[in-house]
Amino acid sequence: MSSIQSTAVLLEGVRFTYPDGVEALRGVDCRVGIGERVALVGPNGSGKSTLLRLLTGLLTPAAGRVAVMGRPVIRENLVDIRRTIGYVFQDPDDQLFSSTVLDDVAFGPLHLGLDTAEVLTRVRRALEMVGLSRYERRVPQRLSAGEKSLVALATVLSYSPDVLALDEPSAALDPRHRRRVMGVLAGVGGTQLIATHDLDLAWELCGRTVLLSEGRIVADGPTRSLLSDSATLERHGLELPLLLQGGARAG
């Protein structure tokens, strides 16, 4: 995007190295426009999860600039940043810590300072969006993997962030829950950055795909063009989406 006013996510020259010396990102430049739904794809260790964690301030870059909705992701902005971007962890057990589903989904709205009535309205709306309207009093730790993933998604939908950042939202889901997650993401719209190994999900949901490999962006373009390029995918340890292999589409 040419204008900073139309930019939801910005990374410029971003580098990040873990304490063990692994360089996860090596000079990443990326801009995501407001309202875009972008897939981040790449082999294990390519830097996808690291990139998302930098957007939320869970990690700090060694070099470069990170901004969300025009705000630099720096310590003094973190409260506002975390109200602006909703991050869904790959493992929902990292996100669900309360004794009931209601309490987990209410956590975000409560920290926006909303009154009780508005918090309950948002909780019920978010649970309805993910198809779990009757789960308010359920114990999150006793839910199935698919149900936990949907509750984790509801925890961020409840405070209506400007940007959704999702780390492998379809990982380990059965076909029914995968389709439900995809339906929710398609329905909520807005700006979404989805890190995924599920190239069929990327094909169906995302107009644009960014391919990361060894900490660098090696391709960035329209999803259906990039994910049809078997030579590029194979060079970076990926295969064509199942629907282009003649296999049955998952879900």
Mean pLDDT of the chain: 93
Q: Is the pLDDT of residue 249 over 60?
A: no
- Per-residue pLDDT averaged across 161-190, rounded? 92
* Sequence spans of domains, the chain: 4-245
End-to-end CA distance of the chain: 34
Question: What CATH architecture applies to the domain 4-245?
Answer: 3-Layer(aba) Sandwich (3.40)
Please, which contacts does 17-22 make with residues 24 or more away whose CB atoms are closer than 8 Å? 17/62
pLDDT in tens, 41-85: 999 999 999 999 999 999 999 999 999 999 999 999 999 999 999
The H-or-E segment that residue 90 falls in is: none
Q: What is the mean pLDDT of residues 28-38?
A: 97
CA distance 20 to 152: 30
Higher-confidence residue: 247 or 205? 205
In this prediction, residues 101-111 reach a mean pLDDT of: 94
